[in-house]
Structure 1
Amino acid sequence: MAKENCLIVHAAGKQLDLLRGEASRIAKGSKVDWWIDRADVGTRFCFEDVKAKEAFAITCDSFGIPCRDG
C-alpha cells in the first residue's frame, strides 16, 4: 500500500490505545481501511485515503500528540 497516506506518531500506552480507537473511528467514517506499522521512531498509522490521514493528523494535534508524515 502507498505510504504517502501515513503518519508517524510518538505515543505509547494509553495514548497509543486512544489513537488506535480514533484511527478506527475515522477510517470507518470514511469507509476506508487503515493499518499500523512500526517505524524507526514511533508508530506509523496508514490510511487508504488522504482525507482520513488529514483527519487523523487533526486528531493527534487536538490531543497534543506529535505526528509527522511517514
Structure 2
Amino acid sequence: MPKENCLIVRAAGKQLDLLRGEASRIAQGANVSWWTDRAEVGTKFCFEDSKSKDRFALTCDSLGITCQDS
C-alpha cells in the first residue's frame, strides 16, 4: 500500500479515539481503505487517496490537533 498519503498526528487517549472515528468516517465516505502505524513521535494515519488525507488534515486542524506530512 502506498505511504505517500499519510499524516503523523500527535494525539493520545480520547483525542486519538476521536481521530480514528473521523478517519473511518472519511474513508468510508470516499470508499477507500485507511490504516494507522506507529511513528517515532505520534501516530501515522494513512489513506488510499490524497483527497481523504487532505480531508483528515482539515479535520485535525478544526479540532486543534497538530498533524504533519510523513
Q: What TM-score do you get using the length of structure 1 for normalisation?
A: 0.99
Deviation of residue 2 (structure 1)?
1.2
Tell me the equivalent position of 1:4.
4
Tell me the equivalent position of 2:48.
48
CA distance in 1, matches of 2:68, 2:4: 11
Q: Which amino acid aligns with 2:15?
A: Q
Structure 2 stretches of 5 or more lacking a match?
none
Tell me the equivalent position of 2:69.
69
Deviation of residue 3 (structure 1)?
1.1
Alignment root-mean-square deviation, CA: 0.4
- Count of paired positions: 70
Alignment identity in percent? 74
Tell me the equivalent position of 1:28.
28
Q: Which amino acid aligns with 1:3?
A: K
Q: What TM-score do you get using the length of structure 2 for normalisation?
A: 0.99
The 4+ residue runs of structure 1 with deviation greater than 3 A are: none
CA distance in 2, matches of 1:16, 1:34: 15
